[in-house]
Structure 1
Amino acid sequence: MLKRKKITSLILCAALSAGLLTGCGSTKGGDSNSDVTELTVWSPQGNQDENNYYNKRIEEFNKEYEGKYKATIELIPRANGYEYENKINAAATSGDLPDVLSVDGPTVTNYAESGILVPIEQYVSDEEKSDFVPSIINQGTYNDELYTLGTSESSVLLFYNEKMLNEAGITPPTTLEEAWTWEDVYEAAKKLNKDGVYGIDLNWDLGEGQIYGLAPIVWSSGAELLSKDGKVANGYINSPEAVEALTYYQKFATEGLMNLQPLPNEFEEGKAAMYLMGSWEFTKLNNDYPDFEYGVTYYPASAKTKKVVSPSGDWCWGVTSGSENQEGAAELVKFLTNKDSVKEHCDMIDKPASRISVLESNESYNEYPRNILKDQVTKTAHTRPLTTSYPVLSKEFSSAMQDIRTGADVKSALDKVVQRFEEDIKRNN
């Protein structure tokens, strides 16, 4: 059972350092007089289709396990802040956690270390695990034990305006072996940067998007953001390789090849010739810009290593230490990530499936352009750092990237990340 003292100290440290913790309340229901075990589930609200999907799958779980389990789900607004995470933190300190939580991939280590999540390793067979893409298992593993499983994966591709590149005589690669390096992208951007059109859009939101979308620039160089145990930043995120890689990235901003104050839909409306963006861009282009002629190619590689490394990670399901029936909660997690759930969810949100069998059965991922997305999910995906101080790392990396784009000394900007991260690690320890 959860030790309140451990939860309070670790969660308060992690939350306060990232400015996350605020007061909030939660409820948890159950019927001790019934033979049916009640299970409670929390997940962030999505759009209406997603909310309907979650409610539907919970109803189907209840039907399949009628007389044994009965689950209810609470969909919690997340807005643009950390309302959902705040509620988890408050429930952890008050002992009101639900049985099952939906959590973002990078937070798994924090929640596992602090005792909010418990291992589900004993409930998931090796055969079951083998059907998930490696990055999903990696993001859900802490201290060699599995804590979470997810339904979908994600990645980032280089989208391009097909007409503009054809007119410039530029032909992007269509195989992983021939993937562009950042030098190739730079040369292409210089040719395309004219007539009021920027060569490329490399902007991401000023929160989690920075580390999600841009950390592969560091990884492809051969560097890491942190040590393997997730506790040391010095010599990793500020290593010579990392500094060199991000100094090259800085050129796109300082030479005016990207707009530092991009307009909404800059790429889609023809104001940027290329666009480094997540796989969800497919849906936006196909639904909102059906006449737009675009192509995609792989996430750019380091010119030195020529190794493509792509982002990965998505929301996943785990069992909490507050659950009085962890076996039943694990059964619900497995139901929410079984093949039917994965297929239905990923078809709806237009993301690559977490299960290899489902991904292989989707013919659209065997043909261009989604075969490039499949290659990245199965061959080049890199998990964001597994560390208890991830909220601070993400926040400080975002600040550093903002400074780098405006011409700051790259080494100094990364040294600040090291200092803030290691201060937080000491507090957590």
Structure 2
Amino acid sequence: MRNPLAMVAAASLLGTVALTGCAKASHDGASADGGGPTKITMWTHSAGNPGELAVYRRIIDDFNASQGEYQIVQQNFPQGSYNDAVTAAAAARKLPCLIDMDGPVMPNWAWAGYLQPLDLPASLTDSLLPTAVGTYRGKVYSAGYWDAALSLFARRSVLEKNGIRIPTVEQPWTLAEFDAAVGKLKDSGYKTPLDLGAADKGEWWSYAYSPMLQSAGGDEIDRSGMRTAQGALNGPAAVAFFSWFQKAFKEGWANSDGPVGNQNFVDDKVALSYTGVWNAKDALDKVGSDLLILPPVDFGKGPRIGGGSWQWGISAGCGKAQSEGARKYLEFSFQDKYLTAFSDSQVVIPATAGATAASKYFGPDGALRQFAVLSQKFALARPATPGYPVVSTSFEKAAKDIMNGADVKPALDAAVQAIDSDIKSNNGYGN
């Protein structure tokens, strides 16, 4: 399966367009065709992913056959051109009715007037994982079929050989335990015992490392008002965490380069790999029953992992009849059987308990069940603010600078200044 974060950087650029583009985006006016069904256009970024498209095709065909009032018309874009297509459509006020988007970018689009509230039944949205529901200013604007989750991969045999306690959800590693474990593994012969995924780029940095910061007591922004990053991203807890982060590379525990993905772990070049569910099936195939899917480290304030992935929304310019049909389609599409099919095709965590129970990977006896548990217990969505694209890129720059040896506090202060300047220049984004 492809990394579900691969398009987030592009989506973040889309969010930036919302800062400078038109205040309202409009639909291109799909309408009833001579007494036939009302056509509703739906855009996805899924071209090139046959498994994903097959599930969408099944849902659309079933919905279109189930009634005669609406017809969903699907258009698929490759990842590389989806950004350009949505940007152009928004500027021309010709967004389709149904669009998929990465969850953390949704508040920017809602603030810019690109989206309308979903207005799906509360019984539906309440049944989804919290990180699969996009809420902005008290209203639900997006909802998704699945979520991703992060974990530490390890080999049971390696931990047992080195006398390292296997952490559990109930008793994860403390930071002191984690440091001791990494030190033992380095002494045992691993030149670089830990793969933190630092060779990746873009949204991975916020998705992967801000939960560690949150576990330490900091954050990317003060979520109580979403008006400043001061104290959250550069306070004592943040400085302490990023000092540890820098130490991990300085001490040779982790590398800043290397292959993106899980190959170093599969090849036993590293003992611990901080990675996502999208790499789990390959690791399971290669490592087998020796694979451990471990909970995140507790940096002091409880374990955290990132949450929130691709979700569906309805554009603000979608006409009344089309909007009603879009809602009916979305409500239809959230049946457990479709969410299970999507999950098992893409190896991602289903958004409902019923779909999870039926999944061959994440059900009660599934080999990847632990990921569903980690998502339910530890996942935290990224900040729901229209300024998130700037938050994310500023966080990434600061973290990379620190990794490469920059003084911690000045690097964090620079990120705070960039974030707060953006918020100020946009009049607080209405907060």
- Shorter-chain TM-score bucket reads 0.7 to 0.9
Does the Cα contact within 8 Å between 2:149 and 2:306 map onto a contact in 1? yes
Secondary structure (helix, strand or coil) at the match of 1:178 reads coil
Q: CA–CA distance in 2 between the matches of 1:13 and 1:269?
A: 38
Select which of 88, 93, 113 maps to 1:95.
Answer: 93
Shift of 1:157: 0.4
Q: CA–CA distance in 1 between the matches of 2:417 and 2:382?
A: 19
Shift of 1:275: 0.4
CA gap of 1:266–1:210, structure 2 versus 1, over 3 A, is: same
Does the Cα contact within 8 Å between 1:28 and 1:40 map onto a contact in 2? no
Structure 1: runs of 5 or more not aligned: 1-10
CA gap of 1:27–1:368, structure 2 versus 1, over 3 A, is: closer
Q: 1:335 matched to which residue of 2?
A: 332
TM (norm. structure 2) is: 0.87
Q: CA–CA distance in 2 between the matches of 1:100 and 1:199?
A: 45
Q: 2:310 matched to which residue of 1?
A: 315
Select which of 235, 249, 258 maps to 1:239.
Answer: 235
Q: CA–CA distance in 2 between the matches of 1:273 and 1:290?
A: 12
Say yes or no: does 1:166 pair with 2:160.
Answer: yes
Q: CA–CA distance in 2 between the matches of 1:91 and 1:178?
A: 49
Q: Which moved more, 1:224-233 or 1:249-258?
A: 224-233
Select which of 269, 290, 306 maps to 1:293.
Answer: 290
Shift of 1:417: 1.3
Structural RMSD (CA): 2.5
Task: Provide the aligned length of Structure 1 versus Structure 2.
Answer: 402
Select which of 259, 263, 274 maps to 2:255.
Answer: 259
Q: 1:41 matched to which residue of 2?
A: 42
Paired letter, 1:242: A
Q: CA–CA distance in 2 between the matches of 1:366 and 1:32?
A: 47
CA gap of 1:374–1:30, structure 2 versus 1, over 3 A, is: same
Q: CA–CA distance in 2 between the matches of 1:292 and 1:47?
A: 29
Alignment deviations for residues 130-184 of structure 1 (CA, whole Å, 9 cap, x no partner):
21122223xx11111111110001110010133322221213123x221112222
Q: CA–CA distance in 2 between the matches of 1:260 and 1:225?
A: 22
Q: Which moved more, 1:308-317 or 1:224-233?
A: 224-233
Q: CA–CA distance in 2 between the matches of 1:335 and 1:239?
A: 46
Does the Cα contact within 8 Å between 2:43 and 2:100 map onto a contact in 1? yes
Q: CA–CA distance in 1 between the matches of 2:53 and 2:28?
A: 20
Identity %: 27
Say yes or no: does 1:189 pair with 2:186.
Answer: no
Secondary structure (helix, strand or coil) at the match of 2:132 reads helix
Shift of 1:222: 2.3
Paired letter, 1:223: G
CA gap of 1:201–1:117, structure 2 versus 1, over 3 A, is: same
Shift of 1:30: 4.2
Shift of 1:401: 1.4
Alignment deviations for residues 67-102 of structure 1 (CA, whole Å, 9 cap, x no partner):
2001111111113xxx42332222122111101011
Paired letter, 1:203: G
Q: CA–CA distance in 2 between the matches of 1:396 and 1:233?
A: 11
Shift of 1:28: 6.8
Alignment deviations for residues 321-377 of structure 1 (CA, whole Å, 9 cap, x no partner):
121121111112222322222111011111111112222444754358634322222
Q: 1:6 matched to which residue of 2?
A: none
Structure 2: runs of 5 or more not aligned: 1-12
Q: 1:3 matched to which residue of 2?
A: none
Q: CA–CA distance in 1 between the matches of 2:216 and 2:307?
A: 17
Shift of 1:32: 4.7
Q: CA–CA distance in 2 between the matches of 1:27 and 1:326?
A: 13
- Please list, as runs of the form range in 1=range in 2, the aligned pairs for 1:334-353 lying within 5 A after superposition: 334-353=331-350
Q: CA–CA distance in 2 between the matches of 1:323 and 1:412?
A: 46
Shift of 1:292: 7.8
Shift of 1:17: 7.4
Alignment deviations for residues 99-127 of structure 1 (CA, whole Å, 9 cap, x no partner):
10111010110111111110023xx2232
Q: 2:63 matched to which residue of 1?
A: 61
Q: CA–CA distance in 2 between the matches of 1:111 and 1:16?
A: 6
Q: CA–CA distance in 1 between the matches of 2:363 and 2:409?
A: 40
Q: CA–CA distance in 2 between the matches of 1:361 and 1:31?
A: 38
Q: 1:128 matched to which residue of 2?
A: 124
Q: CA–CA distance in 1 between the matches of 2:128 and 2:153?
A: 27
Q: 2:193 matched to which residue of 1?
A: 199
CA gap of 1:54–1:369, structure 2 versus 1, over 3 A, is: closer
- Please list, as runs of the form range in 1=range in 2, the aligned pairs for 1:258-407 lying within 5 A after superposition: 258-263=254-259, 265-287=263-285, 289=286, 293-302=290-299, 304-305=300-301, 307-324=302-319, 325-362=322-359, 364-367=362-365, 370-407=368-405
Q: CA–CA distance in 1 between the matches of 2:245 and 2:174?
A: 12
Q: CA–CA distance in 2 between the matches of 1:391 and 1:375?
A: 29
Secondary structure (helix, strand or coil) at the match of 2:349 reads coil
Shift of 1:282: 1.2
Q: 2:7 matched to which residue of 1?
A: none
Secondary structure (helix, strand or coil) at the match of 1:267 reads helix
Does the Cα contact within 8 Å between 1:200 and 1:257 map onto a contact in 2? yes
Paired letter, 2:100: S
Q: CA–CA distance in 1 between the matches of 2:94 and 2:248?
A: 48
CA gap of 1:62–1:12, structure 2 versus 1, over 3 A, is: closer
Does the Cα contact within 8 Å between 1:318 and 1:333 map onto a contact in 2? no
CA gap of 1:105–1:12, structure 2 versus 1, over 3 A, is: closer
Secondary structure (helix, strand or coil) at the match of 2:170 reads helix
Q: CA–CA distance in 2 between the matches of 1:298 and 1:90?
A: 42
Q: CA–CA distance in 2 between the matches of 1:326 and 1:27?
A: 13
TM (norm. structure 1) is: 0.87
Q: CA–CA distance in 1 between the matches of 2:374 and 2:122?
A: 24
Q: CA–CA distance in 1 between the matches of 2:122 and 2:36?
A: 31
Q: CA–CA distance in 1 between the matches of 2:98 and 2:336?
A: 19
Shift of 1:29: 4.9
Q: CA–CA distance in 1 between the matches of 2:35 and 2:409?
A: 62
Does the Cα contact within 8 Å between 1:211 and 1:397 map onto a contact in 2? yes
Does the Cα contact within 8 Å between 2:243 and 2:408 map onto a contact in 1? yes
